Chain A
Amino acid sequence: MLSTLRCIVMRDLTLAMRHRSDVLTTVFFFIIVVSLFPLGVGPDAALLKEMAAGVVWVAALLASMLSLTRLFADDYNDGTLEQLMLVPQPLSLIVLGKVLAHWIISGLPLVLMSPLLGLQFGLEGDELIMLMVTLLIGTPVLSLLGAIGAALTLGLRGGGVLVSLLVLPLYIPVLIFGAGAVTASAAGMGADGHLSLMGAILLLALVLAPWASAAALRISVE
């Protein structure tokens, strides 16, 4: 089981390393979206600090969603996906491996970049750490839920726009608790409750999402 998982993850990571620009595009998209907000609402430091968590989180949502279409599409186009579905190991495990690789490629860089962007918005010390921690727990959920949408829209025309329509409403709880945790810790209220809820959502998604994505893949590839 674990060797299958590792094999899939390593394969996807190797493929991503061969197309490094794809990875960088997601990160730069994230940075650009975050930088657009001060330009839009004005350089007022107090206002920016207040909205920092929300802005970074919304940008992370969009960046993670942007890379979703590639999750299964390449494998689907060259027929690898069909071969993967014939493998004796459960499909949900393979999906989990692909999601894990997707998170390492598109989610982890966002987590690592976030303190820098937080600094630009005037966040300090604990708030920066909290922003990183929430993204660390939250971005895997985005990849997991997004995989369902990516699997459902596989091979459809206009799949990219459609996937956002399907997936973004499902991202809302993560956004609320993620941005809420940073705001709560900035207000000195403590964010344990938010973090626990995010952890619960992560566990729930970890159990159910690969299974649902596998079902969706079976529907899409027939």
Chain B
Amino acid sequence: MFNLFKYSSPASFYPLAGRLAVGFGIASAILLVIGLYMSFFVAPTDYKQGEGYRIMFIHVPAAWMSMWIYVVMACFAAAGMIWNTRLSSMMASSLAPTGAMFTFIALWTGALWGKPMWGAWWVWDARLTSELILLFLYVGFMALESAIDDPRRAARASGLLALVGVINVPIIYYSVQWWNTLHQGSSIKVVDGGIESSMSEIMLWTLLVMTFACWFYAVAVSLSRVRSTILERESGTAWVKTLLKGEQA
């Protein structure tokens, strides 16, 4: 059987992460070029929303990634708690900045899209609000981690917070949704679902390509970030010293 636990040791994961990061980085760059070309030149102009709808090609993947990365982060945090593997918590903490960045991109592009479509930069829609709360959760995770000096305690404390957060995410999401329908303040609805069903095939393909570009980017960036973390935390060990000597020579 393939021994997964072999790569739970930072020393054997470090070179693998390097190779994977390069691979995913290249794949992401290629997909991004194809995706951007498709979203600007191939995908037809939307009959209702005009050219502005093209923001969707970065907005939707970013929103998906922001949620998905939180789940992956919580899974790594759980693995770190269960098996007490150092690498899992390092992975969790290197995913957080990327997740926060995608959350921010989703909010930012959403605002840019909302202004021409709805006439407002921001509406207290259920999706926007829960995305904003997700950003708070990411910020809380990173703030807790950076406030604790001892890396072991930082990893375990932030891991616990990620788990508490992931239990709360569905509760928060549904409460925000019900709050929104109860208040019914705005008559504007996010029509992503509407676009989805009526979307032409080429738009769907563009969206898919862009999603994979973002996904691979997230993998590549967090792997290269985890490599730096490994070097920093393991700087006292023999294998890092030989590695650094080899690079200097």
Contact = CB atoms under 8 A, between A and B. Distances in A.
Interface in B157-189: 157, 160-161, 163-165, 167-168, 171-172, 175-176, 178-179, 182
The winner among A159, A184, A201, A216 for most chain B CB atoms within 10 A is A216
Contacts of B168: 169-170, 173
A166 B178 CA distance: 23
Contacts of A78: none
A42 B6 CA distance: 65
A168 B137 CA distance: 10
B179 A152 contact: no
Contacts of B161: 148, 152, 166
A166 B140 contact: yes
A192 to B, nearest CB: 14
B160 A165 contact: no
Given A153-B144, A173-B172, A220 B178 contact: no
A201 B147 contact: no
A173 B171 contact: yes
Contacts of B221: none
B68 interface: no
B136 A168 contact: yes
Contacts of A172: 133, 172, 175-176
Interface of A: 148, 152-153, 156-159, 162, 165-166, 168-170, 172-173, 176-177, 180, 183-184, 197, 201, 208, 212, 215-216, 219-220, 222
Which 7 A-B residue pairs are closest in the complex by CB-CB distance?
A: A173-B175, A169-B136, A176-B179, A219-B156, A166-B140, A176-B175, A165-B140
Interface of B: 133, 136-137, 139-140, 143-144, 147-148, 153, 156-157, 160-161, 163-165, 167-168, 171-172, 175-176, 178-179, 182
